[in-house]
Amino acid sequence: MKIMQEVFMATTKEYKDFVLEALRAVPSVTAKPMMGEWLVYSEGVYYAGIFDNRFLIKKTAGNARYGFSEALPYEGAKTMYLVDNLDDADFLKEISAVTVEDLRKKKK
């Protein structure tokens, strides 16, 4: 799998708003600021983030099947999956649900 590395810079408010609008079908989606970036939650579960104007989701067994590219959210972090198709609300809802479900199972 290819790991994408980019120059790290803070996410713009416009991009954060764009992503949250794209995620409108995801249940109880919220974003919390963290050092110029945004952590994304669904139903209280941290499952994704907006880093350097990129939407990244945590890697889980269930979402590995989608074939996403890996990317670093910031230097020294674990890789996450880069989601670059933000035009399909149903797809975003599906991958969000799969990821949140896997993360809930992992906590138990």
> Does the model's pTM come out above 0.85?
yes
d(CA 23, CA 29): 7
For the stretch 19-42, pLDDT in tens is 999 999 999 999 999 998 999 999
Residue 53 gets which letter from DSSP? T
Q: Which CATH class is domain 3-107?
A: alpha beta
Helix (H, G, I), strand (E, B) or coil at 102: helix
For the stretch 94-107, pLDDT in tens is 999 999 999 999 87
d(CA 63, CA 75): 23
**20 φ, ψ to 5°?**
-65, -35
Domain boundaries, the chain: 3-107
